């Protein structure tokens, strides 16, 4: 029997507000301006993965047509059970057959893969497009 686990995927700034300073320290260690991407562990033991988007803030779409609003220039994933507080609508909950780790997530040429979810961040910022797709 296959089991699934719920993961929230989106801009982690919306769900990790209480530890955003720690998240920033992990992703930008020391005085580095170079962002580290991949898998991280908070002091309290919660794990998450995060990758920058190709074009920073905007709205990006996964292979299922789900939109992701981005205001931190990055998209990541965290277990739904590890979110403390409300679940915002700017991301999406996915039932996945495997945990999202560094082994099954990546950033390649602007395409973010988080387990079974693929988000291409190389396309246009669709937030300025109308309902007919005219930008």
Give the pLDDT band of residue 123 (cuts 50, 70, 90): confident
Q: Which residues pair with 39 in a beta bridge?
A: 49
Q: Which of 17-31, 36-50, 57-71, 109-123 has the lowest mean pLDDT?
A: 17-31
pTM of the model: 0.86
Asked if residue 131 belongs to a domain, the reply is no
pLDDT at 36: 81
Taking residues 50-63, report their average pLDDT: 94
pLDDT of residue 1: 44
Indicate if the pLDDT at residue 75 is higher than 70: yes
Compute how many other C-beta atoms are within 10 angstroms of the C-beta atom of residue 15. Answer: 24
Mean pLDDT score, 73-87: 92
pLDDT band at residue 35 using 50, 70 and 90 as cut-offs: confident
- 58's CB contacts (< 8 A; 6+ apart) are 70, 125, 126, 127
Which of 73, 89, 78 lies closest to 8 in space, CA to CA? 78
Q: Which of 1, 20, 7 is nearest to 99 (CA)?
A: 7
- Total domains in the chain come to 1
Query: Is residue 128 included in any domain, yes or no?
Result: no
> In which band, very low, low, confident or very high, does the pLDDT at 57 lie, cut at 50, 70 and 90?
very high
Q: Is residue 44 part of a domain?
A: yes
Strand ranges (DSSP E) for the chain?
Answer: 5-10, 38-41, 47-52, 58-62, 67-70, 74-79, 92-96, 105-108, 111-114, 117-120
Tabulate helix, strand, coil % of the chain (nearest 5).
15, 35, 45
Does residue 50 lie within any of the structural domains?
Answer: yes
Structural domain span for residue 87 = 5-122
Q: Give a yes or no: residue 15 inside a domain.
A: yes
Tell whether 133 is covered by a domain: no
- pLDDT tens-digit readout, 101-121: 999 999 999 999 999 999 999
78 domain-assigned: yes
Classify residue 127: in a domain, yes or no.
Answer: no
**What gap in Å lies between CA 7 and CA 104, rounded to an integer?**
14
């Amino acid at each position: 029997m296959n089991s699934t686990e719920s993961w929230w995927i989106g801009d982690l700034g919306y769900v990790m507000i209480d530890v955003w300073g720690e998240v920033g320290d992990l992703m930008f260690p020391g005085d580095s301006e170079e962002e580290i991407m991949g898998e991280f562990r908070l002091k309290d033991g919660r794990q998450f993965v995060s990758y920058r988007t190709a074009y920073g803030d905007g709205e990006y779409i996964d292979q299922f047509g789900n939109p992701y609003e981005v205001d931190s220039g990055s998209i990541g994933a965290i277990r739904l059970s590890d979110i403390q507080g409300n679940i915002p609508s700017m991301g999406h909950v996915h039932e996945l057959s495997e945990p999202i780790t560094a082994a099954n997530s990546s950033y390649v040429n602007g395409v973010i893969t988080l387990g079974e979810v693929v988000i291409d961040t190389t396309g246009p910022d669709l937030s300025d497009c109308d309902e007919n797709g005219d930008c």
